[in-house]
Structures are given as C-alpha cells and as structure tokens.
Amino acid sequence: MMRFMLLFSRQGKLRLQKWYTATAERDKKKMVRDLMQIVLARKPKMCSFLEWRDLKIVYKRYASLYFCCAVEEQDNELITLEVIHRFVELLDKYFGSVCELDIIFNFEKAYFILDEFLMGGEIQDTSKKSVLKAIEQSDLLQEEDESPRSVLEEMGLA
Amino acid sequence: MALKIVKGSIDRMFDKNLQDLVRGIRNHKEDEAKYISTCIDEIKQELKQDNIAVKANAVCKLTYLQMLGYDVSWAAFNIVEVMSSSKFTYKRIGYLAASQCFHESTDVIMLTTNQIRKDLSSPNQYDTGVALTGLSCFVTPDLARDLANDIMTLMSHTKPYIRKKAVLIMYKVFLKYPESLRPAFPRLKEKLEDPDPGVQSAAVNVICELARRNPKNYLSLAPLFFKLMTSSTNNWVLIKIIKLVSCFCVVKYLGLLAMSKILKTHPKSVQSHKDLILQCLDDKDESIRLRALDLLYGMVSKKNLMEIVKKLMLHVDKAEGTTYRDELLTKIIDICSQSNYQYITNFEWYISILVELTRLEGTRHGHLIASQMLDVAIRVKAIRIFAVAQMATLLDNAHLLTGNMQRNGICEVLYAAAWICGEFSEHLENPMQTLEAMLRPKVATLPGHIQAVYVQNAAKLFSTVLKSQEGSTEGTAAQETSQLMIDRLPLFVQSANLEVQERASCILQLVKYIQKLQQKEVEVAEEVSALFAGELNPVAPKAQKKVPVPEGLDLDAWINEPPSESESEDEQPKAIFAKEEPKHSRSRHTEVDEKELARRREARKQEQANNPFYIKASPSSQKVYQESPGVEHIPVVQIDLTVPLKVPGLPMSDQYLKLEEERRQKERADKKKKEKKKRKEKRSGRGRRHDSGPESEEDITPAHMVDIVTEEMPEMCLTLNHKVCDIQGNLQDGSQVVVSVIFENKCDSLLKSMEFNVLDSLNSKLQRPEGSGPHDGFTVPFQLPPGVSNEARLVFTVQSIVMPQKMKGTLTFIVKNEDSSIHEKLDFKLHFTCTSYLITTPCYSDAFAKLLESGDLKCSSVRLEEVNMPFHHLLARICFHHHFSVVERIDSCASMYSRSIQGHHVCLLVKTSGQTVSIDAKCDEPTLLGNVLDEIKQTFSQC
C-alpha cells in the first residue's frame, strides 16, 4: 500500500501532498522536509528507488517537478513507478500538456484526479478512460451547480 | 435578509479566489509570511460569513495554505460545514480539505459520522464517491465501526464506480476495525469475479494486502487467483497477484515452468541460471524439484554434464521417498544418454555413475540401468575392458544388491553384468572367479530371465576359462572347472523357469560331454570357444534402410493377389515399405492406388493375425539381405570417444570430475593465451572506432534542427508613387540598432543626391557623421539608376527597448530626367517593433529549465483563437517573424526562447489544441513581454 505521495519542485517547493495514513501535522512536515532533501540531492542518473526508514521511496522527475511516492516494504517498486507515470498521463490528458503551473493554479483539480486514480493508497482504477470520465462527470456536476444562476440571481436581486 | 445576501455576494465578488491567492503569494516572494498572514486574516473574515460559497472558497484557499505548511486546524469546524453543503461543488472542496487536514486526533471528526452516512446513501454517485474518497484518508476506529455496514452495502452497489471505491475503503475499515473482516470477507471474495475490471482490480488489491499480512489464511483463494492470473489481461492486476502468489510459494514453480519454455528458444539465457536451478533441487516442494529436474535435462552441455550429474547424485543419496528418487535416477540416465550420448566425454565416468546407481535400494528402474550398461558396453569398444572389470565386481558383490530379491528391481543390473562378463569374457582379469560367482546357489533366487542369462553366460565364461587353462601346464585345472559346472548346473536344471531349465540341461549335457573328452585328454577348448565365436556389432536403428534391395526383388509385388473385398474401412492406412522406398513402387500405381493397397494389406494382416490356422512366416526377406551383401556393409554406430583416462584404484565418478576439471583448466589456459592476443587486437580496433564516433554523431546532429528556421529580418515597406524604399531593421548588441535600408528605384529616371533624415526622439537617435548638427541628414553615398536597388546602413542609439517605437523621417532626392531634374521628397515612418529588438539565440533545454526555475521571470499569457495551420508552421512563423528558436517540442507543445539586445530572456510555452493556441510566456521585463505577445498575436490575426 502506498503511504503517501508528494509532488515538489526543483526548488523544494511542495506542490501536492497526499497522505494515505492519517499522520500528525508535525510528522508530515518533518518527513516532507527530510525526503525532499534526500531526493533533491540525488543526481539525475541515480536510481529511482531508495530505502528510507521502513519505507521504499520511488520517485521520478518530470520537467521541473519531482513525483515521489513512499510505499511499504513488500510493494513492488516498478508498479509504483508505473503509478506515477499513469498519474502524470492523467494530468497531461486533463490539462493538456500539463506543466507545473497547471498544478499550482489548479491544485484542487490535481487532487481530484489523484483521488479518482488512487484511493487509500491502492490503485482504484487502472483505466485512464474511466478515471477521466469520472472527473469529467464530477466537473459537469459542478458546472451545473454554478451555471444556472445569473449574476443577478447570485446577488439576490432576481 | 435579502440585503445580507446581496452584501455577501458583492463581498464575494471582490474576494480573492484560489488563483488570486496563488498569484499573490508568487508576487510576494520577499514578504511571503506577512502576505499570507494577511490572507489568513481575510479568510477568517470570509469564514464568518453565512454565504457557503464564500466559505468554500475560503476553505479551498486554506487547503492550499495547509500544503505550504501553515496550521489550519483551527478551521476544522468550517471544513465540516463545507462538507455538509448540499452542493457538490462545495462538498467536493470540503471533503478534499478534510482528507488533507483531518487526522485521528481531530475532534470534530465525531461530528461527521451522520453527514458521511447521509452522503454515502446519496442518490448521486459522485456525492458517495467524494465521501468514500475523503473517508479513506481520515477514517478512525469509531468511524470504521459506525460506517462498516453502510460501506459493506455499497460493495454491492449497482454502479461499478461506487463498488470499486467501497471495496478499496474496506481495507482501511479492516485495519481500523478488524471485527468487520469476518462478515465482509465473503462479499469481498465475490468481488474478485466482478464483471467490472476496475472493481476486480480493487478487490485483488485489497485481498493482496490482507494476504500479505497473513498468507496462510488466504491459501484457499489460491485457485481463484491462479484462474485470474491465467485469464486476466490487466498487467497491473497480474503484478499484484504474482506478488501475492509468491507468498504462497508457487512462484518458484512458475518461474521454472517459464524457464523450461524459454529454454526451447533461448537455451543460453537459461543456462546462466544453472546454480539457481540446482538450488531448487533442495526445495521442500517435490513438484518444484521435479520441474527443476526437467529443466536440467535441457541445460546440460559437454562442459557442465559431470558437474550437474554430480549434484544430482548427491540428491539421490539424500532423497527420501522412492518416487522422487526414481525420478532422479531416470533423469540422470536421460540426461547422460540424450542425443546418443552427445554430452559424455568420458565413458569410464559414466559406467562408474551407473555402478553407483546400483546401490539404490528399492528402485523400479533396474532395467534402465541395465540397458544403459549393455548399450555402452556394446557400442563403446574402448570401454569394454573397464566395463567388464566393473561388472565382474558387481557379480562378485551381487549379494549386496539383492538384499530382498523379490521386491528389488535393482537385480536387473545383474542381467547386464552377467551378459557383459560372458560376452566379453576375454577381457576378464580373473574369469574363474567370475564363473564361480555366477554359479553360486543364491543365483537360483533371482528372477527366471536373469538366471537364464547367468546360465548361458556361464557357458561362455566356461569356454574362456578352458582356453586359458588348457594353454597352461596343469591339465587338471580344466577338468576341475568342468567338474564345477557339473556340480552347480543341476540346481538350474531343476528350475521352475522353462528357459532356465532348458538352457541348463543343454549346457549340462555339453559340459558332461566335454568332461568325457577331457578325461581322454583331448584338447577341447578351441572347439568349445567356436560355439561362441564371432563379434557382436552394434547396429544403428536406421541401418536396415541402407541395406540395398537385391536385384530382382520387388517388395511391392503381390505374392498372392489380394482378396477383392475389404472389410475394415476405418483402418488407418499404414505403408511399411512404400513410403521408405518410393522409387521401387511401380509406375502404374497412382497415389490413391498405393494407399488403397496399403490399406488392404493392413486389413489382410489383421485377418491373418486373427486366424489361428495361419502360420506366420518368419521374415524371410530379411534373411536374404543378410546373406547376400554381407554383414560388413551394415553401418555401425560410432560413438565419439575422447581419451578416457584410466583411473587407478576403485573408480569413483568424482575422481573423473576432478580429472576432467584439470584437463579443462589446461585447455582454458591455452585458450586464454590465444584470447588475450585476440583481445589486444580487438581493443586496438575498438579504439579506432571510438575516434570516429564523435564524427558520426556530429553528422547526425543536423537532423535535430528540423523545426528551426534560419533567422531573417522582417521587412518594412514604404511606397511612394513609383519608387519603393525597403527598410530592413538590423540589430546589434547594447543600445545600438543598425537599420539597413534598401533603396530601390522603380521609375525610369536616375535618382541622386539622396538625403536621409529622421526626427530624433528622446529614446532613439540617429547616429550622424561627426561634425554634423543634430538635424542634419545622412547623405546616401550612392546614386540609383533606373531599376537598381542598393542598401545603406544607418545606426540608431536606443535607450529603452521595452516599447515599440515609430520614428518619422524624410528622404529628399533629385530625379534626373534627360531634359530636366526635379527635387522630390518622401516621408516615411520607421517602425521599431519590440520583436525587432529580439535576437534569435539558441538555448538548450536544461539551460531553459534552469532559467524558468530561477523564479525571477514574470509570466503572462495570450490565447490565439482559430489558428488554422499545422503546429510546425505555427512554430516556424513565430521563429521567422519574432526571432525565436525552438528549445524543445513535444507533440502539440513547444518551448521557445529568444533574447533581446539588452539581454532580456523571453521564454514561450506554446500549446495547441484544435484551433486554439495558448502561449504562456515568461520574461524578466513584463512590458517587453506584453508587447512581444501583442505583436505575435497580430502576426496571427493577419493570417
């Protein structure tokens, strides 16, 4: 099971964090800081897997963003790498050639996508199609919520 | 009330949304903490309002701040409020915030139970979805206990979207509230066969996690998983299952199975894992051991045969359970004897192995060992001396083998031993001793067919012994030998086995006769040995084919015409000779005829076989072959035998192994010397190739530049009547701009005394020749005959380049006709676009990335609608008109770069989807960037 997933930039700015086990804020901060330090110090040709505390860290850099997952000891690193890649593919499909800024400005969307792909640290659906469909449908629902009301209605004047 | 709503909404319009917050934080790099603290104050105000939209917006911003490391736990209750909103938009944000911020010690979680339950049973599947997703992050033991039943119901929801989420969250529930596992498990198991692949993979994931913690409890699911493994096409699921199955220890078996398949096509790649496979022989699971054995069979080579067999022999000793041991034995023999003993380099070693194998108790495969002994002894002439000696020892120690006669299949080897000692008795060191061993009373307890061989070969031995004894001086020794035979044979004459009885009595009579002759002191040895004269040669299985058919013999001709009717229609046609010797078939037979004939012949044979009155003929034709061409012509199977070394003392297979290793080491040493030389040569060769490497790479590089268009300056045209002036902007570093102006004379008259003047602005000035005043013009240093064009270069000094500029100017000149000349004036404007301050500068992607990351670039973006051109044209256009170079292009996305004369970096990220092009740009000078983007936009609006 995946314990958590982090997205951070080359400069060590956290862009996304998802914790699949409830963790106290203080511990989270420390773990994120430690891990970022370790991963950012690694050279490009170094292995994407490393052991850290009792976890296995799998990370991959896409442009300026690091995608970093912590999985348990018995988990398969390669499938985790695939998970990362699949997530990137999903982001890419959704945002259309995704870049770091997309994730910064639409960070809640990135979370929604991640939540449709992984749940509780397990892969929820391996099909890109069905994940994107679920997001699309939810977005549609959201627009329905918002669109029928005109500005005037919104202001309580209609 | 209405007023309140209005007020709230108006406030909201001026609120920061998430994007504003993010942008704000990015713009306040220096005083980020201060900025955020004011933002948090604003958020606190927003949370106090009644408008849920405002609250949701505030919570959304808080979630972002939480990620940046700010404490937002104080807003937990507001998060719950937003979660409870009836609108999906807000609920979604609320649950997201909760999943990011809540943990077990968040006390407001208690308040959420009913809300979550309500959402779980919502008719809208997406409401249920967000509730499940959120819950998976912050589920507590209390929530798990209270909601376990609701979630269990959802596992059978009609929508697969809900089912898969419910299945996944069950794992979290199990962890927090283990009591729920028992009632939920049957349903979970059902989900392994859910028609929806998503649900199925979710179930696999959960069960894999559970099983990993305690594999034994889930062994009963192994068949189900195996079925999934063979039927599923989802690699994600397969990896999980294999990982799980490895907990069940089945994966080794599968690995071996796969290897045996690979072995057929890529034997080398499997051979490198020899040690691993040998290790599998130690596995406690018998099926794995058997698989490994199968593999070894295909893996042996001349090099490793001895080593592998040695390992196998060790296992034979250790093996418990006769089935596996027998399997080992047959495998050893199979491995050694495969492809006509192809891999055996030393037959003495092999005989020793066979002899060692006879020590196995209770094996069923004695006959197998026996037939191998016979085969090798007969076919490998050079080994006979050694084999005979070994067999004699075996016969001598027969009592050791035959502990329990009846059950013991190993006594079969005595059959081979007796025959070999008899047939090749001339090689025996002490034939008398062997003869005695063969006539021991205990032999009578052996199975009949073995006794028969004993008796027959005792006679052969007897003849050999006679021969040696008669040659010596003591004549009595021979008589004593005859007496021995006469004493011992009656035991066999009484045998219940007919063949033993018949042979024994026959030989007994013979010996008695010999004895009589001996008593008359007649030398009989020669005649007795004549009985067994002649050497037995091995015959290849296909030797029969090579025997030529004698002239005049037509194998296809009927001896008797076949009966007309044929009864057994469904009998398979089976041509015996027709296929092998097709050239002998008569030409008048057609294909169909032959088949028909063969079928009839088969039918006839069947009939004859069933007819008790039909006397079956001995194969007379074969006799004919043997007589006419002679035995010499029968091809003999030759076995390639390389120097079998004679080992002194008791031969043990291990010794051979050592010797073999020594021999090979020697060979290897020799080879190495040769290889070293070769390597040296190779190395020098490689060195040369390395040198040429970069050259070829350089040759390739141009291919990477396909998308880059060579730089050119834009043109600005000015027209006046029939004359055209082209002004081409050319730029140089710093603040100097060189403008090359092309003058073209389009009229029929000569133009001369051209004077070029511009009105200087504060920002831009024309550099005039020294000594001239600020308003003097620049005299163009040439005349223009009709139809001729020429170029003049003018230098301008520019202070700021961030804004486009227009400069007014005049060109005065004289038009000279044949009879008159007119003074004329041309007004023009010089347009300095921002683009013209950019210089195409190549940039590597890593430098580009560094630049973007440096964080001191401001960003801006522009959207182009209805751009109807291929992406590469679009890029080419930007490159051409705006002096950019492409840094990297991936599908419909490209990064571009350019640099101003004053060193501003301009980076573009161009994306296209359909007819819309979005350009995100970064530059350290926002004004310049804005103007460049406007100019780009204009370029595309014109096309």
Give the pLDDT confidence score for residue A50 in this predicted structure.
93
DSSP element (H, E) containing A105: helix A100-105
- CA-nearest residue to A122 within chain B is B205
Task: Say yes or no to pLDDT of B782 above 50.
Answer: yes
Give the model's confidence band at A60: pLDDT under 50 very low, under 70 low, under 90 confident, else very high: very high
Residues 6+ apart with CB under 8 A from B663: none
Residue of A nearest to B165 (CA): A124
Q: Rounded to an integer, what distance in angstroms lies between the CA atom of residue B739 and that of residue B743?
A: 13
Q: What is the Cα–Cα distance from B156 to B531, expressed in whole angstroms?
A: 90
CA nearest neighbour of B290 among B317, B324, B336: B324
Nearest to B392 by CA among B357, B364, B359, B416: B416
Most confident of B491-500, B649-658, B874-883: B491-500
Task: Quote the percentage of chain B above a pLDDT of 70.
Answer: 80
How far is C-alpha B210 from the chain's CA centre?
29
Instruction: Give the closest-approach CA distance of B42 to chain A in angstroms.
Output: 20
- CA nearest to A63 within chain B: B849
User: How many Cβ pairs closer than 8 A exist between chain A and B?
Assistant: 153
Least confident of B588-602, B852-866, B929-943: B588-602
- Measured distance CA(B455)–CA(B414) in Å, rounded: 12
Specify the pLDDT at position B774. 73
B171: contact with A, CB 8 A cutoff: yes
A46 and B CB contact within 8 Å = no
The arithmetic mean of pLDDT across residues B27-44, rounded, is 90
Question: How far off is chain A from B203, nearest CA to CA, in Å?
Answer: 10
**Looking at the predicted structure, is the pLDDT value of residue B730 above 70?**
no
CA atoms within 13 A on the CB side of B114: 2
A146 CB within 8 Å of a chain B CB: yes
Nearest to B114 by CA among B143, B93, B91, B136: B143
Residue B64 to residue A107, Cβ atoms within 8 A: yes
pLDDT attached to residue B401 = 67
| Tens of pLDDT, residues B351-372 | 999 888 887 777 778 888 899 9
Q: What amino acid occupies position B576?
A: I
User: H helices of B122-196, where?
Assistant: 125-138, 141-154, 160-176, 181-190
> Does residue A145 sit at the B interface (CB-CB below 8 Å)?
yes
Strands A65-71 and B764-766: unpaired
What pLDDT, on a 0 to 100 scale, did the predictor assign at position B150?
93
- Distance to chain A for B662, nearest Cα, Å: 43
Q: What is the pLDDT of residue B58?
A: 92
Tell whether A97 is within 8 A of chain B (Cβ). yes
- Give the model's confidence band at A146: pLDDT under 50 very low, under 70 low, under 90 confident, else very high: low
Strands B723-731 and B715-720: antiparallel
Which of 38-67 (B) contact A at CB < 8 A?
60, 63-64, 67
| Nearest-CB residue to B201 (from A74, A111, A123) | A123
**Chain B residues in contact with A138 (beta carbon < 8 A):** 88, 92, 126, 129-130
| Alpha-carbon distance A118 to nearest alpha carbon in chain B (angstroms) | 9
Pick from B10, B137, B164: which is nearest to A22 by CB?
B137
Whether B206 contacts chain A with CB within 8 A = yes
In tens, the pLDDT along B610-625 reads: 665 555 544 444 444 4
> Residue B814's beta-bridge partner residues?
B752, B823
Check B911 against A108: CB less than 8 A apart. no
Quickly tell me which residue has 């050639």 as its tokens. Answer: A97
The answer to whether residues B206 and A122 touch, using CB atoms and an 8 Å cutoff, is yes
Which pLDDT score, from 0 to 100, does residue B614 have? 55
Q: What is the predicted pLDDT for the residue at B534?
A: 79
**With an 8 Å Cβ cutoff, are B9 and A9 in contact?**
no
Other Cβ atoms within 10 Å of B416 Cβ, number: 27
Supply the pLDDT for residue B156: 92
Q: Are B187 and B206 in contact (CB under 8 A)?
A: no
Q: Which of A113-122, B4-13, B69-78, B874-883 has the lowest mean pLDDT?
A: B4-13
Residues 6 or more apart whose Cβ sits within 8 Å of residue B653: B306, B309, B310, B313, B349, B352, B353, B356
Is B96's CB within 8 Å of A108's CB? yes
Among B89, B92, B240, beta carbon nearest to A146: B89
According to the model, what pLDDT value does residue B741 have?
77
Does the CB of A79 have a partner CB in chain B at under 8 Å? yes
Between B822 and B726, name the one with better pLDDT: B822
d(CA B289, CA B324): 9
Residue among B6, B126, B209 minimizing CB distance to A141: B126
Mean pLDDT of B909-913: 86
Q: Best-predicted range by mean pLDDT among B6-10, B460-464, B545-549?
A: B460-464
A124/B164 CB distance under 8 A? yes
Among chain B residues, the shortest Cα distance to A86 is held by: B236
**Can you give the pTM of this predicted structure?**
0.47
B215 contacts chain A (CB < 8 A): no
Q: For residue B925, what pLDDT is reported?
A: 84
- Across the interface, whether the CB atoms of B197 and A126 are under 8 A apart is answered yes
A64–B contact, CB cutoff 8 A: yes
Q: How far apart are CA B352 and CA B656, in angstroms?
A: 9
Distance of alpha carbon B524 from alpha carbon B116, whole angstroms: 113
Comparison of pLDDT for B694 and B214, the residue scoring more: B214
Question: Would you state the pLDDT for residue B921?
Answer: 87
For B515-550, the pLDDT digits (tens) are 888 888 888 888 888 888 877 777 777 777 777 788
> What is the chain A residue with the closest CA to B11?
A155
Encode pLDDT of B753-765 as tens digits: 888 888 887 788 8
- Using CA coordinates, name the residue in chain A closest to B889: A97
Query: Using CA atoms, how far apart are residues A100 and A93, in angstroms rounded to an integer?
Result: 14
Q: Is B722 on the interface with A (CB under 8 A)?
A: no
Lowest mean pLDDT among A112-121, B391-400, B501-510: B391-400
Q: Which of B26, B62, B88 to mutate to test the interface with A (most CBs of A within 10 A)?
A: B88
CA distance A24 to chain B (A): 7
What is the C-alpha R_g of chain B? 51
Say whether pLDDT at B72 is over 70.
yes
Is B163 near chain A, with CB under 8 Å?
no
Chain B residues whose beta carbon lies within 8 Å of the beta carbon of residue A155: 5-6, 9-10
For A81, nearest residue in chain B (alpha carbons): B236
How far apart are the CA of B25 and the nearest CA of chain A, in angstroms? Answer: 11
State how far the Cα of A6 lies from the Cα of A60, in Å rounded to an integer.
Answer: 11
Q: Which residue has the tokens 């819950």?
A: B135
CB nearest A97 (choices: B18, B140, B911): B911
pLDDT value at B709 more than 90: no
Query: Do B6 and A156 lie within an 8 Å CB cutoff?
Result: yes
- Tell me which residue in A25, A122, A146 faces B202 most closely, judged by beta carbons: A122
Mean pLDDT of all residues in chain B? 77
Residue in A closest to B18 by C-alpha: A105
Interval B221-239 mean pLDDT: 82
Q: Which CA distances in Å does B89 have to A91, B8, B159, B213?
A: 20, 18, 21, 39
A48: contact with B, CB 8 A cutoff: no
* Residue pLDDT, tens place only, B117-155: 999 999 999 999 999 999 998 899 999 999 999 999 999
Which positions 131-150 of B are in contact with A (Cβ < 8 Å)? 132-133, 136-138, 140
Residue contact A17–B100, C-beta within 8 A? yes
Cross-chain Cβ contact A97/B890 below 8 Å:
yes
Q: What is the pLDDT of residue B584?
A: 45
pLDDT tier, B44 (very low <50, low <70, confident <90, very high otherwise): very high
Whether residue B477 is predicted with pLDDT greater than 90 in this model: the reply is no
Whether chain B has a CB inside 8 Å of the CB on A150: the answer is no
Say what the pLDDT of residue B673 is: 58
Closest in A16, A19, A145 to B137, CB measured: A19
Calpha distance B418→B446 (Å, rounded)? 12
In chain B, the residue whose alpha carbon lies closest to the alpha carbon of A136 is B126
pLDDT at residue B645 above 50?
no
Please give the radius of gyration of chain A, using alpha carbons only, rounded to the nearest integer: 18
Q: What is the mean pLDDT of residues A109-119?
A: 92
pLDDT (tens digit, 9 = 90+) per residue, B278-295? Answer: 888 887 777 888 888 888
pLDDT class for B669, splitting at 50, 70, 90? low
The least confident of B35-39, B171-175, B326-330 is B326-330
B868 vs B874: CA distance, rounded Å: 9
What is this model's ipTM?
Answer: 0.89
Q: What are the pLDDT digits (tens) for B731-755?
A: 444 677 777 777 778 777 888 788 8
Q: Does B70 touch chain A (CB under 8 A)?
A: no
pLDDT for A68 beyond 60:
yes
Judge whether B491 and B444 are in contact, CB under 8 Å. yes
* pLDDT tens, residue by residue, A83-111: 999 999 999 999 988 888 888 888 889 99
* pLDDT score at B616: 52
Check if B202 contacts A (Cβ < 8 Å).
Answer: yes
Would you call B920 and A101 a contact, using CB atoms and an 8 Å cutoff? Answer: yes
The Cα–Cα gap between B926 and B929 comes to 5
